[in-house]
Amino acid sequence: MEKPQNGLKDGHVSELYEMTATELAEILRTKKASSVQITESVLNRIDHVEGKVHAYVTLNPESALDMAREADRKIAAGDARPLTGIPIAVKDNMCVKGQRTTCGSKILANFLPPYDATVIRLLRDEGMVILGSANMDEFAMGSSTETSYWGPTHNPWNTDLIPGGSSGGSVAAVAAGEAIVALGSDTGGSIRLPACFCGVTGIKPTYGAVSRYGLVAYASSLDQIGPISRDVSDLALLLNLICGHDPSDSTSVPREYPDFTAFLTKPVGGMTLGLPREFFSKLENPDVERVISEARKVFEGLGVKFVELSLPHLDYGIAAYYIIAPCEASSNLARYDGVKYGHRAENFTGMIDMYCRTRAEGFGPEAKRRIMLGTYALSSGYYDAYYLKAAKIRTLITSDFKRAFEKCDAVFCPTAPSPAFKIGEKIDDPIQMYLTDVFTIPVNMAGLPGIAIPGGFSMGGLPIGLQLIAPHFEEARLVQLSAAFQKETDHHLKRPQL
């Protein structure tokens, strides 16, 4: 591990691709570097390490440089915004007009969206530089970015290991210096797990805080777009940009959002963090136990109090999630039939045979598994036994959190039960792979905001993440707590050597 030179040191600027968006924004403002220079630095880094990491599905260097030149014109004209000129990667399930968007699947291998997702429009309006689409588990179905049709992404800390999923490409790009910041989506931990495994910061906002218009759906009641960065300062800037009401998304909540950067310097003394017994009883990895214990001491040193509490229905979370999510996936993925867009089988006899062959050829094993699980659970005679019960469990989990937040400002727990594991280690054991999400799934089930921040390292030098969970629409509270923690620690400053 190495600690980079962040910002200016002894009159010298570190490599531009190593720096945060906050630092680069100041460099752009003071004309010490241009957006084109920053973008070229990141593109050169991609050329150097992408073969080892495989963070991207689609790269658009010429388009990125055009955006950078336009950003420099805005800056010169005094029309810059906080993130103008900053290079960003976007997950491969967000529609970018005219740019291949595949969701990591063969069935959409050559799909060119005719419109921008709302978050992409916001990035363009801000003057950010979109580098390309980052690799992901097929249709966001996975915890390791191994189910992608385009092959697995590798963890920059150890390329034999998974980066986490499903937003593994977005997170690995930030960790490896192949993007300054990124957008991912989180259905059951898909931002927070890879952030944990790759030593970066990622947040799943409250359901309804960020528009899902143009996000290709996996499980519509659980999916949420969120930002990924090296530190919480950059995260706050991105939240300022993407949080807000969107009339194009019927689940978008009409409300005002604060300036999240105002919470970066607020003290946390006197705040209370909850320790859910059901989470901590599942801790079996000594490295995770040690890191979480050390993180608790940091917060205690900042004047934060801790209280034990119970979330009694958490133990049913994974079972309920793996009914609800596949049911919604079964419905959402029914549209991929080879008729209007996407892959179509070449050889078939009749329409029904075309449907069957197209879907058999186009979807990978994990997508097929979840489609079949969902179709079965929704079928006649089983809806009440499976889906309806899972929906009731979801309500109970939400109620558990609501009662917990009467005793604490946020919940404190691990992000994952272990550090990153080897590529191929769990891909053939779905149950073990699904259990990787044990600490993250309840957040999505309840629609809550959750953040993963670097908490420390295993004895083998692998990142381990800390998770904080707040009440609905209290992302500012997570920014406040995370910023205080990162001021006292340097875990987020350490970078992998590639």
Supply the residues annotated as catalytic: 91, 166, 190
Tokens standing for 483?
A: 């910023």
Which residue in this structure is represented by tokens 């629409």? Answer: 473
Q: Give helix 168-176 / helix 35-53 axis angle, nearest 10°.
A: 120
